[in-house]
Structure 1
Amino acid sequence: MITRAIMAAAFGLVAAGAQAQGFAGGVLSVETSAFFEEGDIGYTTYAGGLQFDIGAGFGVEADLASYGFSGFGSDGSNATLHAIFDIGPLMVLGDTSVGAFVGRDGYDDGDSTIFGIEGKGELYGLRSEAYLARHDGDLGEITLAGLGARYDITHDIYAMGDLGLADGGGEGELLRAALGGGYRIDGGPRLWGELGRIEADDDAFTGDETYLAIGAEIGFGPNAGTTFGSRSLFDIVPGL
């Protein structure tokens, strides 16, 4: 609880700084899912983020997320702070940004620190994002990696895909993959859905699972959103 309070206070300071400095954008989102094999298992995530520009291409972003896990008997939370550098167009890439982040996962049995590097760019209309992180705390040391991509089919309709890996270094490994699509409402939120699969070692999860997720996201501010998002083990391994 103390960790959550400290990170919530940090998020508030960033929000105040965003107003005093160069507010770049913000985002609010909600996602809910259900598992096919285990009908009583699922989760709902509420998340939000704010970003402001420091100058010379540098920026700072703060994200908060709350995870409610049905069927697992536990809930979780995450706070993430990013340091971002906007490179702009780079060779064949469109708008490109790189960053480093540090965050905190909170759960019933304790909490853990997560830190890593990330990048985002566009190639021939395909927008992609990737990160590599280390999760260190009461659950042990876990290596995390993620890759996401989005492609605009029309101005309002887009396709998307995600991959996530959690490797416990011999204590279990989990791979999460999903494909989906979304629709942008002019002046309103983005609505999306995805069909995904979790492939896990016996010690890493409840077993292999297929899931369906739907969500909504709305961006605001000059950039109509943020560069990155929350970084959490819960985004790959729901319910732990």
Structure 2
Amino acid sequence: MQITTKLSIVFLLMSTGLATAQGFTGGDIELSYSQLTDESDLNKTSFEGSFEYGFGDSFAIQGDLATHSFDTSGVDVLTGTVHGIYHASEQLAFGAFYGIEDVDDAGDAEFYGLEAAYAFDRFDLEGYVGDVESGDGTIFGLRSAYSFNDRIGIDLDFDSLDIDVGADVSTLTLRGNYTFVDNAIIYAELGTTNFDIGTADTDEAFVGVGFKINFGDKGGATFGRRGILDVFPGS
């Protein structure tokens, strides 16, 4: 079954029977590029988008779609995710997500998990944990963000992928954001990725740049995008 068909079925089942007060609340589109700083020349170009549809004040559905191109290896990845969201308050949200990732038509890998987000004053916090069905693995991540003012902010992200066969990858990213017009953001990032595969354990530094546009009444979606290979360098 195609990735879009699977996600359409999930979206329909989740939306059935929810409250009648409903409508589009927010979303974003993003383009980014990142590259390792060593001699491997491994780089990734990503194009991603999210949208959120609310059902009353408490419930919402968020849909994500992302494409990643690893130029050096020639590998292309397509990821789609659906989130079911409960807004406990204006600051606190809980969610459950289900996604499918396709790597160059080599087969679909399904993943699912739980997530939470909390916003207060100038701080935003977000975390998630999930299982990967193909390969019997887990994904985990934390995100913190601070806005100095309406224009400038920083993010600190940590993401990890742990596959039971003995492959662990984790990435720590520091990102600086600048909003040059309303809801349009440019950013630069640097970070390090740890590759612990078999007997090899190495740390690789990377840099990246990106452009993001938020839209809708909320000025974006509640949760960040989820994916198995998101842990590899870049946003």
Structure 2 distance, partners of 1:229, 1:38, is 31
Is the 8 Å Cα contact of residues 171 and 204 (structure 1) preserved in structure 2? no
Structure 1 distance, partners of 2:172, 2:187, is 16
Query: Of residues 114, 120, 129 in structure 2, which corresponds to 1:117?
Result: 114
Between the aligned residues of both structures, percent identity stands at: 28
What do the CA deviations read for 1:107-149 (whole angstroms, capped 9, x no partner)? 1321111100001102453211100011112xx1111100011
From the superposition, tell whether residues 68 and 8 of structure 1 become closer, same or farther in structure 2 (CA, over 3 Å): farther
Give the superposed CA RMSD.
2.6
Structure 1 distance, partners of 2:199, 2:67, is 22
2:160 pairs with 1:160: no
From the superposition, tell whether residues 153 and 238 of structure 1 become closer, same or farther in structure 2 (CA, over 3 Å): closer
2:219 pairs with 1:224: yes
2:105 pairs with 1:129: no
2:45 pairs with 1:44: yes
Structure 2 gaps of 5+ residues are: none
Match of 1:77 in 2: 78
TM-score w.r.t. length of structure 2: 0.87
What do the CA deviations read for 1:151-176 (whole angstroms, capped 9, x no partner)? 01122100111001111135121111
TM-score w.r.t. length of structure 1: 0.86
The amino acid across from 1:6 in the alignment is T
Q: What is the Cα deviation at residue 203 of structure 1?
A: 3.8
Aligned residues: 227
Match of 1:64 in 2: 65
Q: What is the Cα deviation at residue 33 of structure 1?
A: 0.6
**What is the SS of the residue equivalent to 1:185?**
strand
Q: What is the Cα deviation at residue 72 of structure 1?
A: 2.1
From the superposition, tell whether residues 163 and 145 of structure 1 become closer, same or farther in structure 2 (CA, over 3 Å): same
Match of 2:138 in 1: 143
Structure 1 gaps of 5+ residues are: 90-94
Match of 1:4 in 2: 3
